[in-house]
Chain A
Amino acid sequence: MSHFSEYKDLIQVGDLALVWISRDNIKPVTITAGETFNTRYGSFPHDDMIGKPYGSQIAVRTKGSNRFGFIHVLQPTPELWTISLPHRTQIVYTPDSSYIMQRLQCSPHSRVIEAGTGSGSFSHAFARSAGHLFSYEFHEVRYEQAKKEFEEHGLFRDGNVTITHRDVCHDGFTIKNTDKTTFFDGKSAEEAQQPACIGADVIFLDLPAPWDAIPNLDCVISQNSKTSMCCFSPCIEQVDKTLEALEKHGWTEVEMVEIQGRQYESRRQMVRHLDDALQRLRDVRERKQVGVERRKRMFNKIISDQEEPYEERPETPKTQFNPFGKGSRVKEGDSNYSWKEVSKVESEIKSHTSYLTFASKIVHKARNEELVQSIIEEHKDVTPESTLPGKKDKKQSVNK
């Protein structure tokens, strides 16, 4: 099983782990005995991680100070990988990918085409759920990088992922053994004679010109059941050309949508009551009054020519009433003050990722009359009013 698909208990040598330093600093690490993982908070020996359960926090004393640095060692998931991965291209983020998978009904029953692979972020999510993922990448260097990465992540070990170097717009989706592909890895020479049987029912096109790839889909999609697809394009002009191609090639149920994902920080705002604010100003004014009256007396003495007009400046007491901790550093959530829990939208939002154009197609809208007639014949004595056969019997009669 892959580093992603197996639920592992303990951190072991050879594992791919994700080290969580902070929310936007997550690093992939291959656990190796004797190695250390260096951060600016300290160096963490891998040996401290090995044998501990996943999710463990690891502490290390930082150099030159008596404080500790902490990291967490996590097992990779497609979602964590998405926020940590090295970008080769613009990636599909979780709000988009999760919606696409849900809407395309991605399940162990699905045969998925993904073009192109790009940074492989979505590939990991598809690989988790799909029966088979056929990923295509036309950029040779990115193909090699993705292939290497999938190998390191163990995705090929689960046997449900293949990647092919291909420009699907020009050369279509059919996979033969003369192609640069992982499809025939581990297959016998005999098996490799036949082109890959794809029969995809879920299509995801993340291409600059999906309209050039759409005409090539017909021979690789499921022939007698419904195929659903999503085109992922950032520009509205691309959507327009895609719609034209979809209509021309018999795709129906066409709908374009846009996903907006938001993240919020949990914050606290100090509760500051009006009465306290008024009281504080009264307090300030009172102390100010002391000074004002002293100066008034001195002025009167000068006017009336009394000797020794100067009056000693009295020791002004510190502000007595300071309900909001003004002038001192108050940490958000300080228990000496009262707080209101608030949420704040992240400071930079992904305001537009891409337009998602969905469509579906059934190549042959027909049924196998012979088979259907035999099934109908078999059920001819069932009267609709009769009680249903138990669910147990049902499956036997249905799975012909």
Chain B
Amino acid sequence: MDPLKHITYYNHVLVRLPSNNLKVCELKPNSDVSLGKFGAFKVNDIIGYPFGTTFEIHYDNAIEASAPDAGPSGDAAQEGTSSKGARNKFKIPVGRLSVIESRLTANAAATGLGSEEEGTPQRELQLVGNSDSNKNLINIGSSIQKLSSEEIEQLKQQSVSSNEIISKMIEAHGSFHQKTVYSQEKYLKRKKQKFAKFFTVEYMSSSGLLQYLIDKGDVLRAMDLSEESMGMILNLANIRSNGTYLCVDETGGLLVYALLERMFGGENDSAAQGKIVVVHENEHPNLDLLKFSNYTEEFIQQHVKTVSILDYFEPPVTEEVKEAFTPLTDEQLKSLKSNKKGAYYRRLKWYNTQLEIIEWATKQQYDGLVVASTLHLPTFVPKLGERVHGSRPIVCYSQFKETVLELSHTLYNDLRYLAPTIVETRCRPFQTIRGRLHPVMTMRGGGGYMMWCHKVIPVGAADAALQPRPEEAPQGAEAESKKQKTE
């Protein structure tokens, strides 16, 4: 079993609900996971299946009544009842699981219909007939549905299967036969999303984590980032497993997680030496979203280093640090009283951290700079860029074009930055049904903008005479500056 490919205990996973929304779950052994109105299931029943598997939750009608101590018996896959059934009567009952082909078949369905032939309406629809157009359809609001919401609730209480509820609703619908077949299908899909009981377990990818934030309406916290911009940042910054990157992350750790995933692919025992130095604006870094990652504490400590902007730009002085503390030799340490050892190790940790900060802020040459910050970029980025090695990329993400524009103008006049460019990428999804392909009617508007350039080393100060002024275009760059300025 590979925890990167199979559903494994203690891992955080994403669960995709029938509504297509994502939920983060930690898979504790022997526990139950509740998906609210979509049902509940036992973690033991999904362990070992490949990521991407879709499960359907089944309820035998008697299930709620019989809930004595069945205990988590060996054959969990067949075991339907919850051992703690009676404990909480508001608890969503735990269902039995079966693996199904795909989310689509879950939709079509459970009605026993596999992949539909082109042009054949779904089974529920075959019985009711439809209209070529909607010319006879008159909108009289919700009174067209004869079933009251109380009655529907009652059906749900009786654990009637979702398909039966939907069939009853269609029966009770006054003008269903006057809808076109397309609109009937949409109706079915909507209702199934509401009543269906299936879910898909997905690997915790960086895109998935972003999608989770979007579903939660929390994407502003992640600076309105989009999946396509995230991918673009990683590629433009040439992120690879052996680099040391300087990073500013105001997305709560999403960006750092995306870097980690690209560098190590979730592997805790990766031999790669890559590192991310995160410079943060507050006293403590906010990499909160890393709590959902499946990297171990040690792994994160080894590969993600954090330092505040104050420590980074005004690093401690080596002499002062060494003056304040001298590590003991092994022998001295042995003779140290045990009650003093704790204090000693605390000081030692402080000492090592200080030395590390000095290393990152004054010696390290970075293989890339990735910034997602709301600080004023034209003053911030050139200072960060100082420690980026020549020829290495710099990528700054912003929610707004104006801020990267201002940055790009600033860098354009700075000879240490080559060809700042503003880039934007947008993904346009299509309704992907044969014969009915078209771009979806609405989509999310986020995604922001990126500034991309490379750090360079201008002809040295010693050859000051050679120093090209940005104002007077030098010969070599002339073609480019023309393109920039006139075009």
B32 at interface by CB-CB < 8 Å: yes
Which A residues, 90 to 124, have Cβ-Cβ distances below 8 Å to chain B? 94-95, 97-103, 105-110
A188 at interface by CB-CB < 8 Å: no
A6: B residues at CB distance < 8 A: 242
- How many whole Å from B389's CB to the nearest CB in chain A? 7
Task: Give the residue of B231, B428, B457, B485 whose beta carbon is less than 8 angstroms from that of A331.
Answer: B485
Who on chain A is nearest to B105 by CB?
A252
Which B residues, 405 to 424, have Cβ-Cβ distances below 8 Å to chain A? 405-406, 408-409, 412, 415, 418-424
The complex places the Cα of A375 from the Cα of B429 at a distance, in Å, of 41
B242 touches A95 (CB 8 A): no
B466 at interface by CB-CB < 8 Å: yes
A257 touches B430 (CB 8 A): yes
A337 at interface by CB-CB < 8 Å: no
Who on chain B is nearest to A265 by CB?
B484
B51: A residues at CB distance < 8 A: 225-226
- How many whole Å from A387's CB to the nearest CB in chain B? 10
Task: Give the residue of A67, A236, A382 whose beta carbon is less than 8 angstroms from that of B28.
Answer: A382
Task: Give the residue of B104, B230, B423, B458 whose beta carbon is less than 8 angstroms from that of A262.
Answer: B423
B425 touches A22 (CB 8 A): no
Interface string of B98-114 (1 = CB under 8 A from A): 01011110000000000
A22: B residues at CB distance < 8 A: 476-477, 479-480, 483
Task: Give the residue of A105, A362, A392 whose beta carbon is less than 8 angstroms from that of B205.
Answer: A105
The complex places the Cα of A357 from the Cα of B421 at a distance, in Å, of 29
A261 touches B459 (CB 8 A): no
**Given the known A-B contacts A70-B475, A103-B227, A109-B265, are A367 and B6 also in contact in the complex, defined by CB atoms under 8 Å?**
yes
The complex places the Cα of A173 from the Cα of B368 at a distance, in Å, of 37
A68 touches B3 (CB 8 A): no
Task: Give the residue of A7, A97, A266 whose beta carbon is less than 8 angstroms from that of B235.
Answer: A97
B265: A residues at CB distance < 8 A: 107-110, 131
Interface string of A276-310 (1 = CB under 8 A from B): 00000000000000000000000000000000000
B47 touches A395 (CB 8 A): no
Of B125-133, B323-331, B432-440, which stretch is located at the interface? B432-440
Who on chain A is nearest to B435 by CB?
A240
Interface-centre pick from B31, B102, B391 (highest chain A CB count, 10 A): B391
B207 touches A377 (CB 8 A): no
B49 at interface by CB-CB < 8 Å: yes
B455: A residues at CB distance < 8 A: 55
A390: B residues at CB distance < 8 A: 297
A98: B residues at CB distance < 8 A: 228, 231-232, 234-236, 425
B389 touches A55 (CB 8 A): yes
The complex places the Cα of A347 from the Cα of B475 at a distance, in Å, of 23
B53 touches A109 (CB 8 A): no
B231 touches A103 (CB 8 A): yes
A375 touches B9 (CB 8 A): yes
B468 at interface by CB-CB < 8 Å: yes
Task: Give the residue of B2, B52, B428, B439 whose beta carbon is less than 8 angstroms from that of A360.
Answer: B52
Which A residues, 356 to 398, have Cβ-Cβ distances below 8 Å to chain B? 357, 360, 362, 364-369, 371-373, 375-377, 379-380, 382-384, 388-392, 394-395, 397-398
B477 touches A70 (CB 8 A): yes
Task: Give the residue of A67, A75, A94 whose beta carbon is less than 8 angstroms from that of B232.
Answer: A94
A379 touches B240 (CB 8 A): no
The complex places the Cα of A224 from the Cα of B48 at a distance, in Å, of 10
B296 at interface by CB-CB < 8 Å: yes
The complex places the Cα of A101 from the Cα of B10 at a distance, in Å, of 27
Task: Give the residue of A110, A259, A389, A397 whose beta carbon is less than 8 angstroms from that of B228.
Answer: A259
A367 touches B47 (CB 8 A): yes
B456 touches A128 (CB 8 A): no
Which B residues, 38 to 59, have Cβ-Cβ distances below 8 Å to chain A? 44, 47-53
B270 at interface by CB-CB < 8 Å: yes
> 5 shortest A-B CB distances, which residue pairs?
A55-B390, A102-B231, A107-B265, A384-B31, A367-B48
Chain A residues with CB under 8 Å of chain B are 5-7, 9, 20-25, 39, 41-42, 52-59, 62, 67-75, 77-79, 94-95, 97-103, 105-110, 125, 128-129, 131, 201, 222, 224-226, 236, 239-240, 243-244, 247, 250, 252-268, 331-333, 341-344, 347, 355, 357, 360, 362, 364-369, 371-373, 375-377, 379-380, 382-384, 388-392, 394-395, 397-400
A-B contacts, 23 listed (Cβ < 8 Å): A23-B483, A57-B415, A94-B232, A102-B231, A105-B203, A108-B267, A108-B272, A222-B5, A225-B5, A225-B52, A240-B435, A244-B434, A256-B437, A257-B428, A258-B430, A264-B424, A341-B402, A362-B50, A375-B47, A376-B72, A376-B76, A392-B298, A395-B268
Give 20 new A-B contacts, CB below 8 A, not counting A94-B236, A224-B50. Answer: A42-B475, A56-B457, A59-B459, A68-B476, A79-B238, A98-B231, A109-B266, A226-B5, A226-B50, A243-B432, A254-B432, A260-B428, A264-B421, A268-B409, A331-B485, A341-B402, A341-B405, A365-B53, A366-B99, A388-B10
